[in-house]
Amino acid sequence: MPTAATDTFVTLPPSASASAPVPADALVPAAPNGEPQPVGCTNFKLRQLTRLVTQHYDQHLGAAGLKITQYSLLAHVDRLGPIAPGELARRMDMGASTLTRNLQPLVAAGWLALGSGPDARSRLVHITPEGRALRTQAKQQWKAAQLALNDRLGNANVAALHALLDLGLTAFHNPDGPGSAPE
């Protein structure tokens, strides 16, 4: 509800309330020009959602003995590999040290392996036959998690979320793109 006679709020799209009512404090205030204004800390809201979505996927992938972070690494290496660790980190928008830390248990389990690269100083990550078999098995649990998420949020909302996330990723990868401040 508006708190003053001059406050206006933007109505959320009908798909936003597809499966649950929108709480009153989720209303988005509008600027005088009618443009929606963010309320609260974007990082906090993203982290809240990320924690819940991660738990959702982890519950499904637990049947295969994996977490979503591990499944994602297996899937990326399977699709892109053999691949240099630095390139894998770049493709996953992940720091090199985070990638190294996340690779270690998968290498120790025998699902991924580090081998020689094109020269003596480089290494390549590749998926092992055991890792590919596990990824194939876990893909069923991943698909079940994805479909359950789509059902919970609504397909249109998930598609809109993907579009917003892609827009955000593009904006952070292209500092001179839309919304950048002139120098």
Two tokens, residue 60 = 């499904």
| pLDDT for the residue 7 | 41
pLDDT per residue as tens, the chain (183 positions): 444 444 433 344 444 444 555 555 555 666 778 788 888 899 999 999 999 999 999 999 999 999 999 999 999 999 998 999 999 999 999 999 999 999 999 999 999 999 988 888 899 999 999 999 999 999 999 999 999 999 999 999 999 999 999 999 999 988 776 555 544
Got the DSSP string for 31-98?
Answer: PTTS-B---S-HHHHHHHHHHHHHHHHHHHHGGGT--HHHHHHHHHHHHH-SB-HHHHHHHTT--HHH
Structure pTM?
Answer: 0.77
Q: Minimal CA–CA distance to 111: which of 121, 119, 102?
A: 102
| pLDDT for the residue 51 | 97
